[in-house]
Amino acid sequence: MAEFELPEKTESRKERVVGLIIAAIAVVLAIVSAVGHETHNDEILTHVDAADQFAFYQAKKDRQEQLELSSDALSVLATPATQVATDKLVAGYQAQIAHLQADETQIHQKGADLMNDSQQLSRQAGVLDLGEIALQISVVLCSITILTEQRLFVRMGVSIAVVGVLVAMWGVFLMR
């Protein structure tokens, strides 16, 4: 017996096309979502690094103040018999203070740079989130097409998907 196929219904073909469009948008959505999450993670890690630098800066500042107080206390409490030893200790403290002051500027600047990087990553992640939202809306609109059989929804969904992709590309490539 010869096999024969029934002609395909036009509606089921249209539904498959819409289904493929939804699948393609979902793949792009997954990629944008992963890049957005990675950007958020980088933002958090950079912010933590900046906080660590500022904590390191504060520790150096505290150490400097302790040395200054010790130096002042030794100078006040020195007697003529201990003046030579006191002067030697104070000179050592002053050298450490100078070294700490030189480090503080560099550490503070590194912390400020990391904070700026964190803020830039935050803006970039926000733009990627907007692209992700647009892609999610487009999936919903395309899905409505299958339920209502109105082509307007798939057109709107694809249009919003294109906007979402463009926004995501802007976030990835142009906000560096």
CA distance 171 to 69: 51
Look at residue 67 in the predicted model and tell me its pLDDT: 85
Quote the radius of gyration of the chain (alpha carbons, Å): 32
Q: What is the pLDDT of residues 65-110, one digit of tens each?
A: 998 888 888 888 888 888 888 888 888 888 888 888 888 889 999 9
Average pLDDT over residues 2-20: 73
Within 13 Å and on the Cβ side, how many CA atoms surround 150?
A: 7
More confident residue, 5 or 165: 165
Indicate the DSSP class of residue 95.
H
Q: How far apart are CA 109 and CA 150, in angstroms?
A: 58
- For residue 50, the model assigns a pLDDT of 95
pTM of the model: 0.76
| Residue 1 clears pLDDT 60, i.e. is over it | no
3-state secondary structure of 7: coil
Mean pLDDT score, 113-118: 95
